[in-house]
Structure 1
Amino acid sequence: MKETKFTMNYSFPKNAWYACARDVEVKKELFARKIANEPLVMYRTSDNKVVVLQDACWHRLLPLSKGKLINDQVICGYHGLNYNKEGRCTYMPSQETINPSACVKSYAAVEKYRYIWVWMGNPTEADESKVPDLHWNNDADWAGDGEVIYGKCNYRLILDNLMDLTHETFIHGESIGNDAVAEAPFEVTHTDNSVTVTRWMLDIDPPPFWKAQLDKEGNVDRWQIINFQAPSTITIDVGVALKKTGAFEGDRSQGVNGFVLNTVTPETDTTCHYFWSFCRNYDILNQRRTHELRAGVSHIFSQDEDILEAQQIAIQNNPGREFYNLNIDGGAMWVRRIVDEMVAKEALD
């Protein structure tokens, strides 16, 4: 690959669905979270619908999340202004006439795939069909669970990390990594809004994590198929099967298959919310295995957290620093190009 460079770009598109919470996080009470540099407050109404509003009272900008939720109305904790689910003020103290400009911004929200998604941009473009596909999270043929990580780094650094799994060899050698990951060839393909990196490792010694999942002796054929969905969702089709049993040709019956689901939401320029889950299509009724896998993957991701936080600090200490790309950065480079084009298009609209 021709040598190329880039400097850190902190931008993000707003005309997109971003996960703002796991479904279990949002209850019939006020819940605050900052998304794309904007403070939000969210809650469920009496009919269980999710509402997302700007977290700042029209009157004096006190965060509404410091107030109360009564009869599906948000009551400001400072002077008692009431707001309905559309963000319109319905009550002001000591006056009968309500200022017609008294409202807070309401955001389009969708509950899908065990997440709450919010559209931060032009509400007329909030098409539910554009929610990234994470159907494995609530598919009856798959079992899994996950968490949300508060990432102390720009969201793009996590996308870089997920698009190139070579680092498994060096960061996760005791669990999912070995030399085969760094040595295996890979292929990068792309469309206008997606990128796929495909890597097969044939007839290799399985790393500890996958040897335990397969629970069979002998070498394996291992796959990693990484699929990016703009602007910040990455699904990774992973697994191993006994060598030469047909996995490479499409028959995975002699193996175990999982999907690592990742969607990364910018909070600020240097922080993000990282929603992940690990889903599997084997031993799906074993709840104990689900808990053990969640804990195991959580530990793996905590190692990435340490690396990415240190990287973010180094970037801030070296503003304007140019970064080189290697062949292994091919997928991440296409991701950056697609996201940059989305941002540039919004700037023209």
Structure 2
Amino acid sequence: MFPKNCWYVACTPEEFAENPLGRMICGERMAFYRDAEGKVAAVEDYCPHRGAPLSLGYVEDGHLVCGYHGLKMGRDGKTRSMPKQRVGGFPCVKSYPVEERYGFIWVWPGDPTKANSDDIPHLEWAVSDEWAYGGGLYHINCDYRLMIDNLMDLTHETYVHTSSIGQKEIDEATVKTRVVDGEVQTSRFMDNVIAPPFWQANLRTKGLPDDQPVDRWQICRFNPPSHVMIDVGVALAGNGGIDAPEDKRANSIVVDFITPETETSHWYFWGMARNFKPEDAALTDAIREGQGAIFAEDLEMLERQQRNLIEFPHYKLLKLDIDAGGVQARRIIDRVLAEEQEENSNRIASVSA
């Protein structure tokens, strides 16, 4: 159900700053830690001795030590030692290509020979001093594709986020969807509207009036396997909208990394990058808190939606024009999956021949 020959955000460095981290990614249990050189390592979360989770252990001399009987594991998945035991013949566990970049830990769950760190998407906002970023993590019990659907169709904001970013003009605006170089783009433009509370606060932060009409935009961009970046903002009406000068607008990038856990659960790394007042840590915290509350409103809806899909399997999801972004994203995911399955079949056939 999910592609594996690709890079996913697995965690953040803070999550295993003191102890190893166990996390399931794409149906595979992994343990994350740092080796003797301080580099991130990821191995299968399974001790070959008695099957204990290695993530319940600790790190010693750059090796992951099983907390059950003291077996030491290397970053390559090979057992290094075990107190008073000969372990040279122990089978290796799986190790995973892993990279630390942009404040995230990226992992490749598939064929390690195909992993190329150059394929990790470039995030300009993560390396520029002109931008600030704040975000968080939610564990959500639903198919990761439902979250992609949610992010590629922001019509729901009118109904789910009524007190923050929702307004009736969203579902009145024309939705345009297109695929450009493998990226799905869904856009909405709303002219001469009153900004909702979240954007009123951002206008005030920039010293702009919050009670005047604005031109608002939302441009959702999906890239496989499951990354969605949303260019959002408002500008004082009549100043060019998305092309308005910096002193007439407030805009940000909503950052969404959706990482499958199982077929009905995922890890949702969310955040917002902004290019105004990047030095203001208090503002970053305030935006993070507000955005976290907004995304929390999605959580119950998505989990209940997943429950319904399981309990009513005889119904099929309907497709409207507002669903085009999610539909196109799913087509790309299906195509990537089909390519992987064909490669696996050809490999098995060549080995058997």
TM-score, normalised by the number of residues in structure 1: 0.93
User: Match for 1:165: what amino acid?
Assistant: L
Q: What is the SS of the residue equivalent to 2:278?
A: coil
* Residue of structure 2 equivalent to 1:189: 178
Alignment of 1:324-335 (within 5 A): 324-335=318-329
What's the CA shift for 1:299?
0.5
User: Match for 1:43: what amino acid?
Assistant: Y
What's the CA shift for 1:285?
1.8
* Residue of structure 2 equivalent to 1:5: none
> Are 1:37 and 2:27 matched, yes or no?
yes
1:26-78 Cα offsets, whole Å, 9 max, x none, are 32531111111111101112322100000001222211112221111122223
What's the CA shift for 1:246?
1.7
Counting helix residues as a fraction of each chain, which structure ranks higher?
A: 2
> Are 1:265 and 2:254 matched, yes or no?
no
Counterpart selection for 2:196 from 185, 207, 225: 207
Aligned length: 338
User: Match for 1:45: what amino acid?
Assistant: D
* Residue of structure 2 equivalent to 1:6: none
What's the CA shift for 1:249?
4.4
* Residue of structure 1 equivalent to 2:65: 75
What's the CA shift for 1:234?
0.4
Higher relative contact order (CA 8 A, sep 6+): 1
Supply the distance in 1 between the matched residues of 2:319 and 2:66 (Cα, whole angstroms): 50
* Residue of structure 2 equivalent to 1:170: 159
What's the CA shift for 1:79?
2.9
What percentage of aligned pairs have identical amino acids?
A: 39
Supply the distance in 2 between the matched residues of 1:228 and 1:220 (Cα, whole angstroms): 26
Asked if structure 2 preserves the Cα contact closer than 8 Å seen for 1:136 and 1:279, the reply is yes
User: Match for 2:279: what amino acid?
Assistant: L
* Residue of structure 1 equivalent to 2:346: none
Deviates more, 1:39-48 or 1:229-238: 39-48
Q: Structure 1, unaligned stretches of length 5 or more?
A: 1-10
* Residue of structure 2 equivalent to 1:144: 133
* Residue of structure 2 equivalent to 1:221: 215
Q: What is the SS of the residue equivalent to 2:234?
A: strand
1:231-260 Cα offsets, whole Å, 9 max, x none, are 100000111010011234464541011110
RMSD of the TM alignment (CA)?
A: 1.5
Q: What is the SS of the residue equivalent to 2:110?
A: coil
> Are 1:127 and 2:116 matched, yes or no?
yes
Alignment of 1:251-262 (within 5 A): 251-262=245-256
Asked if structure 2 preserves the Cα contact closer than 8 Å seen for 1:132 and 1:233, the reply is no
What's the CA shift for 1:198?
1.5
1:275-327 Cα offsets, whole Å, 9 max, x none, are 01111111222211111110100000010001101101111111243111111
Supply the distance in 1 between the matched residues of 2:178 and 2:124 (Cα, whole angstroms): 23
Supply the distance in 2 between the matched residues of 1:159 and 1:96 (Cα, whole angstroms): 49
Supply the distance in 2 between the matched residues of 1:211 and 1:92 (Cα, whole angstroms): 61
Residues 97/20 of structure 1: CA separation in 2 closer, same or farther (3 Å cut): closer
Supply the distance in 2 between the matched residues of 1:320 and 1:348 (Cα, whole angstroms): 29
* Residue of structure 2 equivalent to 1:282: 276
Q: Structure 2, unaligned stretches of length 5 or more?
A: 344-353
Q: What is the SS of the residue equivalent to 2:317?
A: strand
Asked if structure 1 preserves the Cα contact closer than 8 Å seen for 2:29 and 2:44, the reply is yes
Asked if structure 2 preserves the Cα contact closer than 8 Å seen for 1:42 and 1:53, the reply is yes
Asked if structure 1 preserves the Cα contact closer than 8 Å seen for 2:47 and 2:53, the reply is yes
Asked if structure 2 preserves the Cα contact closer than 8 Å seen for 1:82 and 1:91, the reply is yes
Counterpart selection for 2:331 from 315, 337, 349: 337
Supply the distance in 2 between the matched residues of 1:97 and 1:258 (Cα, whole angstroms): 53
Asked if structure 2 preserves the Cα contact closer than 8 Å seen for 1:188 and 1:331, the reply is yes
Residues 262/133 of structure 1: CA separation in 2 closer, same or farther (3 Å cut): farther
TM-score, normalised by the number of residues in structure 2: 0.92
Supply the distance in 1 between the matched residues of 2:78 and 2:136 (Cα, whole angstroms): 34
Supply the distance in 2 between the matched residues of 1:137 and 1:14 (Cα, whole angstroms): 25
Residues 192/248 of structure 1: CA separation in 2 closer, same or farther (3 Å cut): closer
Q: What is the SS of the residue equivalent to 1:267?
A: strand
Supply the distance in 2 between the matched residues of 1:64 and 1:97 (Cα, whole angstroms): 16
Asked if structure 1 preserves the Cα contact closer than 8 Å seen for 2:13 and 2:104, the reply is yes
Asked if structure 2 preserves the Cα contact closer than 8 Å seen for 1:241 and 1:255, the reply is yes
* Residue of structure 1 equivalent to 2:230: 236
* Residue of structure 2 equivalent to 1:4: none
Asked if structure 2 preserves the Cα contact closer than 8 Å seen for 1:246 and 1:252, the reply is no
